[in-house]
């Protein structure tokens, strides 16, 4: 069983089902409204936990009912929330999600307490980081917090996983990349970091070389319904996605990350099987509504793997 710590965001998601996204100045009717636990970090932690990893979380909430809701949601999935701190002056993060009939989404995020996470908060979590096999970070919390966490991890032989999402508005701190063992962007995030547009396998190989120059030795690029490309010292390949009818792509990428770290070996020797497992998990997520409510459990993924093999 992998021991995974996730440093990241905790958001209460409010989802609105609509026919199509509004144009500027247009008012559209909402067919359905729902609330659920979310945030990229929390989603990834839930995915890791549901796929069998021993999971802990580092993050921050406000002193409000939304924060209690998020803590309760972590506990429900047996995620250690010891190092989720409480901010007395800033509210818990929120996300408003518009979901159209084609299953695509548009998301407005209020960072709130997520963006107030400090180095000191992370330093307090050193015991749980040191006891992990993997630590995962994204960009819904400050890069400085991720650097602190990754420094602790590297000093203790813990594998660092960076999901550079959402795509950074400014350049990634080079120090963070140099502390990253494997980076997992989607094709748009990858292009925003390297300047290389993902169009074919050659551009993916070129991207891997660019990330290596930046200090990141291993790469996975998720390319939607095309699958996932990986590059390590042992080689590279594009692993095709499993074809399903998507009804809601919310949390698909987060499910992939969490499922992947629940299965991957620290030396990445089983990267192909771990990616295929993560793709199965994501294929189940997109067939359901919501963020965390859509993330499958281990038994469901194993059934999906068995069915695809038969």
List the binding residues for substrate. 11-13, 39-43, 140, 254
Label residue 126 exposed, middle or buried (CB < 10 Å: 0-12, 13-18, 19+): middle
Q: Which residue has the tokens 């803590």?
A: 71
Label residue 154 exposed, middle or buried (CB < 10 Å: 0-12, 13-18, 19+): middle
Provide the token pair at 308.
């695809």
Q: Are 148 and 123 in contact (CB under 8 A)?
A: yes
Q: Are 290 and 36 in contact (CB under 8 A)?
A: yes
Specify binding-site residues for ATP.
186, 222-227, 253-254
Specify binding-site residues.
11-13, 39-43, 140, 186, 222-227, 248, 250, 253-254, 285, 288, 290, 294
- Dihedral (C-alpha) 146, 147, 153, 156: value to the nearest 10 degrees? -160
What count of other Cβ atoms lies within 10 Å of the Cβ of residue 6? 35
Strand-pairing partners, residue 54, are 3
Question: Is residue 254 annotated as part of the catalytic site, yes or no?
Answer: yes
Provide the token pair at 164.
């550079």
Catalytic residue among 77, 119, 254, 267: 254
Give the torsion sign (CA, 104, 188, 223, 220): negative
Strand-pairing partners, residue 161, are 136, 182
Provide the token pair at 23.
């144009």
Specify binding-site residues for K(+).
248, 250, 285, 288, 290, 294
- DSSP per-residue string spanning 136-154: EE-SSS-HHHHHHHHHHHH
Q: What residues are labeled active site?
A: 254
């Amino acid at each position: 069983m992998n021991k995974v710590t996730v440093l990241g965001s905790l958001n209460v998601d409010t989802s609105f089902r609509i026919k199509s996204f509004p144009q500027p100045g247009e008012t559209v009717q909402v067919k359905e409204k729902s609330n659920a636990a979310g945030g990229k970090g929390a989603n990834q932690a839930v995915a890791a936990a549901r796929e069998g990893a021993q999971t802990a979380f580092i993050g921050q909430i406000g002193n409000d009912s939304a924060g209690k809701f998020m803590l309760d949601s972590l506990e429900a999935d047996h995620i250690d929330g010891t190092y989720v701190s409480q901010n007395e002056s800033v509210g818990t993060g929120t996300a408003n999600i518009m979901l159209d009939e084609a299953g695509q989404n548009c998301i407005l995020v209020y960072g709130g307490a997520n963006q107030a996470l400090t180095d000191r908060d992370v330093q307090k979590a050193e015991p749980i980081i040191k006891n992990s096999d993997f630590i995962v970070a994204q960009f819904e919390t400050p890069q400085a917090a991720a650097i602190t966490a990754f420094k602790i991890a590297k000093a203790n032989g813990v594998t660092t996983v960076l999901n550079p999402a959402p795509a950074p508005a400014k350049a990634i701190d080079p120090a963070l990349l140099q502390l990253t063992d494997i980076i997992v962007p989607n094709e748009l995030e990858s292009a925003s970091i390297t300047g290389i547009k993902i169009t074919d396998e050659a551009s993916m190989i070129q991207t891997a070389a660019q990330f290596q120059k930046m200090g990141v030795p291993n790469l996975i690029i998720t390319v939607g319904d095309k699958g996932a490309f990986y590059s390590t010292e042992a080689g590279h390949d594009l692993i095709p996605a499993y074809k399903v009818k998507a009804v809601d792509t919310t949390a698909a990428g987060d499910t992939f990350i969490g499922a992947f770290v629940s299965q991957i070996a620290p030396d990445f020797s089983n990267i192909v099987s771990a990616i295929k497992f993560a793709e199965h998990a994501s294929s189940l997520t997109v067939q359901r509504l919501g963020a965390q409510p859509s993330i499958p459990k281990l038994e469901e993924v194993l059934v999906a793997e068995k069915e695809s093999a038969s």
